Amino acid sequence: MSLGGMKDQSPYSLDEVIDRRIYTDEDIFRQEREKIFKRTWQYVGHESELREPGRYRLTTIAGEPYIVCRDQRGEIRVLGNTCTHRGATLVRGSRGQCKAFRCPYHAWTFDLEGRLIGVPIPEDYGPRFRREDFCLTQARVETYEGLIFACLDEQAPSLDEYLGEAAQYIERSCQGKEVIGYNKCLFKGNWKLYQENFGDGYHPPFLHQGMGPAFLSTYEANGEAINLGNGHMLLKYYPPEPQHLDLSKLSAALGIPLTLETMKTTGIINPYPGDYDSVLSVFPNFIVPDIVSVLSVHRLTPLAPDRTLLEITILGDPQDSPEFRQFRLRQSTVWGPGGRAGIDDIAVAEKCQRGFHAKAIATSLMARGSSDERAGMVFNEYTIRGFYRQWRHYMGWSG
Ligand code: FES
Ligand SMILES: [Fe+2]
């Protein structure tokens, strides 16, 4: 299969049209697991969730269950959550603390480094049995600015090389931060629809009307979209000065009277502005929106071509004042299933997925902005084209 299903006389290059089967096809979904999710660095947790030895959280990589834990020596490990005896998962729930992992089935016990340290009635196995042959599997682990990444591919480049230009934006947003909250939901759409949405600066003034259309059109006009290479995307926004907002226009658009004070307390404008806001998307399934003082990391876990788990981890600064911490938590509902913007992004991913049942239209168009640009106005789509170029590279598709 090649990308693009447009007729020969199409004025668009293969870079600019996407075959919609990549969102619906079971076989492509299976190939993505093998060729992308088993070969890329995957976000699996935050160091602040694992402060002491024995703390763990559960995750999956390419559909396989893993335990992310801090061992007795303080190292972070990503261990296969399957007993090497007959397969039972060793721990369940989302997180916890323990001294060792004891299988619920026949009580084989593994230490925090994955070594098998306890087997009931071992003599019945005879002399062939050696404990060291039954350690837990381990993934490669690297951390960057508190974020923990794991990779199943021994041949993959280092995390540093993998992140490339994205690293500086992770550093800018995440340095010294800690986890302050969580949010998660399932949605009935392909994982790539949500990822591409976060590299898409074209939709916000139209889709996110609930955030205030007049505000958004001012806001979005001061943005920039950057293709960072390696499939990573960045949207940069320069928030307007509050005094430049047209309050009467905004009040009319939202149907409520607004003052600068109410806009600050409701989070419509950011009372704690930085020099710019950013939305970083790291290939293939990790997003760091750092916008209107909500810093969060989003991970997409594909469950089926049309079903995705979205996990959002909200970060704050240990130095935050109690008021600012409160503000961050209240603002964090911008994203996720109850969010003022997130709900739109999730709902529209589901709408696109439903739209793909109409088979007469075979492709989606991603042709905004000239194809050789890397950065420019936020309404362009070369960010998304860069994402799909990397997707094709991993999938081994030349077209
Ligand atoms: S399956 Fe784990 S001890 Fe038997
Ligand atoms: Fe959006």
pLDDT digits (tens, 9 = 90+) for 203-223: 988 898 777 666 666 666 678
In terms of Cβ atoms closer than 10 Å to its own Cβ (0-12, 13-18, 19+), residue 126 is: exposed
164 phi-psi bin (left φ>0, alpha ψ -120 to 50, beta other): left
Q: Which ligand is nearest to the CA of 91?
A: 1
pLDDT in tens, 51-77: 999 999 999 999 999 999 999 999 999
396 — phi, psi (to 5°)?
75, 30
Q: Are strands 109-110 and 101-102 parallel, antiparallel or unpaired?
A: antiparallel
Higher pLDDT, 291 or 230: 230
Distance 82 CA to ligand 1 centre (A): 9
**Cα–Cα distance for residue pair 160/181, rounded to 1 Å:** 27
* CA dist., res. 191 & res. 58, Å (int): 20
Q: Cα(124) to centroid of ligand 1, in Å?
A: 15
Q: Is 307 in the pocket of ligand 1 (CB under 6 A)?
A: no
Query: Is 108's C-beta closer than 6 angstroms to any atom of ligand 1?
Result: yes
What is the Å distance from ligand 1's center to 152 Cα?
A: 24
Residues 262-288, mean pLDDT to the nearest whole number: 80
Asked whether the predicted pLDDT for residue 129 surpasses 50, the reply is yes
Q: Which residue has the tokens 């016990």?
A: 109
DSSP 317-334: -TT--HHHHHHHHHHGGG
Q: Atom 3 of ligand 1 has which residue's CA nearest to it?
A: 106
Closest C-alpha to ligand 1, atom 4: 106
**pTM reported for the whole predicted model:** 0.92
Instruction: Calculate mean pLDDT across residues 370-378.
Output: 73
**CB–CB of 283/40 below 8 Å?**
yes
Check residues 290 and 269 and name the one with the higher pLDDT. Answer: 290
Q: What is the Å distance from ligand 1's center to 86 Cα? A: 5
Mean per-residue pLDDT for 71-90? 98
Looking at all shown ligands, the one closest to residue 107's CA atom is: 1
- Element holding 220 (H helix, E strand): helix 213-221
Token output for 144 = 């960057």
Q: How confident is the model at residue 5 (pLDDT cuts 50, 70, 90)?
A: very low
pLDDT at position 8 = 55
Task: Provide the pLDDT for residue 14.
Answer: 84
Does the beta carbon of 349 lie inside 6 Å of ligand 1?
Answer: no
Q: What is the mean pLDDT of residues 103-116?
A: 98
Average pLDDT over residues 249-271: 68
Using the mean position of ligand 2's atoms as its centre, give its distance from the Cα of residue 380 in Å: 14
Q: What letter represents residue 83's amino acid? A: C
Quick check: CB of 86 below 6 Å from ligand 1? yes
pLDDT in tens, 307-361: 999 999 999 999 999 988 888 888 788 888 777 788 999 999 999 999 999 999 9
How many Å lie between the centroid of ligand 2 and the Cα of residue 197? 6
| pLDDT score, position 3 | 46
Atom of ligand 1 nearest to the CA of 106: 3
The pair of structure tokens assigned to 296 is: 């969060």
Alpha helices (H) along 255-309:
260-265
The whole-number pLDDT of residue 139 equals 98
What are the DSSP E strand ranges found in 90-146? 95-97, 101-102, 109-110, 116-118, 140-144
Residue predicted with more confidence, 251 or 364: 364
For residue 323, with 0-12 CB atoms within 10 Å meaning exposed, 13-18 middle and 19 or more buried, which class applies? exposed
Q: Is 103 in the pocket of ligand 1 (CB under 6 A)?
A: yes
Cα(63)–Cα(191) distance, integer angstroms: 14
pLDDT at 245 over 90: no
User: Which has the closest alpha carbon to 289: 338, 244, 339?
Assistant: 339
- The CB of 88 under 6 Å from ligand 1? The reply is yes
| CB of 294 shorter than 6 A to ligand 1 | no
Indicate if ligand 1 lies below 6 Å from the C-beta of 85: yes
Q: Please indicate whether residue 102, judged by its CB atom, sits closer than 6 Å to ligand 1.
A: no
Mean of all residue pLDDT scores within the chain = 90
Distance of alpha carbon 206 from alpha carbon 217, whole angstroms:
9
Between CA 149 and CA 45 the distance in angstroms is 7
CA–centroid distance, 58 to ligand 1, in Å, is 19
**What pLDDT was estimated at residue 231?**
98
Pocket test for ligand 1, best of 108, 110, 135 (most atoms within 8 A of CB): 108
Ordered alpha helix ranges (H), 309-396: 322-331, 342-355, 382-395
Q: Is the CB of 389 under 6 A from ligand 1?
A: no
Q: What is the mean pLDDT of residues 357-373?
A: 88
Supply the pLDDT for residue 2: 44
Report the candidate in 315, 292, 324 with the shortest Cα–Cα distance to residue 175.
315
Q: Which domains does the chain have, with CATH numbers?
A: 42-151 (2.102.10.10), 166-395 (3.90.380.10)
Which is more confidently placed, 3 or 376?
Answer: 376
Residue nearest to atom 1 of ligand 1 (CA): 86
The confidence score (pLDDT) of residue 215 equals 63
